[in-house]
Amino acid sequence: MAAIHRIKTSSGAIRYRAQIRRKGYPTMSKNFPTKAAAREWARGVELDIATAAAKFKPDVEKHTFSELIGRYIEDAQPSKDQIRHIRWWDKHLGHKLLHDLKLSDFKEARRILQKEPKQLGGVRVQTLKQPRTPATVNRYCTAASVVLNYGTGKNDGPDGWLDRNPMRSLGKLKESKCQDVRLNLQLHRRKRSMV
């Protein structure tokens, strides 16, 4: 809905500014000598937006996933691990426009991620023969989901780049409990040795 503001110019004349703000569209405003003219213009522009005959396109049709990733890294300043995870998504899906991103894209990328060999980080990266664990794949998916949530305008992100997170309904992989069992055994042994 349009907002009409009464403005007093430096010469003392009264003007009316019609301003239209819609999610996914740029803010539009124009000044008029009468309030009726401002309302009429605003109705016309809102009708154009509603019928998709406006001369501008929503932001979602202009931006790529890579642009959203870049903006997120700049604004949120994530950790090095999160950046590494996000860069993986940038390499595989960064070229896609935001409105073209579908759940199936992320499922396919996740399959690729699962098959890639595990890497041990640090200064010198070592590639191992085993595939990545489900826990690691889940961390990568969480990083991408956080970026997409940022694109919906949550957490001070760019408003209107995305209507919703396409990864929202992507379930997590079942993680192994072996590591938890080993940690519990170590804790149990420490407690016994303290007694």
Domain ranges in the chain are 2-56, 60-178
Above 60 in pLDDT, residue 177?
A: yes
* Percentage, residues of the chain above pLDDT 70: 77
Looking at residue 54, its pLDDT comes to 43
Looking at residue 52, its pLDDT comes to 59
CA distance 143 to 120: 19
Looking at residue 186, its pLDDT comes to 62
Above 60 in pLDDT, residue 122?
A: no
Beta carbons of 70 and 83 less than 8 angstroms apart: no
* Most confident by average pLDDT, 18-27, 32-41, 44-53, 118-127: 32-41
Q: Give the global pTM.
A: 0.59
User: pLDDT tier at 75 (50, 70, 90 boundaries)?
Assistant: confident
**Phi and psi of 71, rounded to 5°?**
-65, -40
Average pLDDT over the chain, rounded to whole? Answer: 81
**Would the CA dihedral through 112, 117, 123, 124 be positive or negative?**
negative
Looking at residue 179, its pLDDT comes to 56
Looking at residue 53, its pLDDT comes to 46
CATH fold group of domain 60-178 = DNA polymerase; domain 1 (1.10.150)
Beta carbons of 109 and 55 less than 8 angstroms apart: no
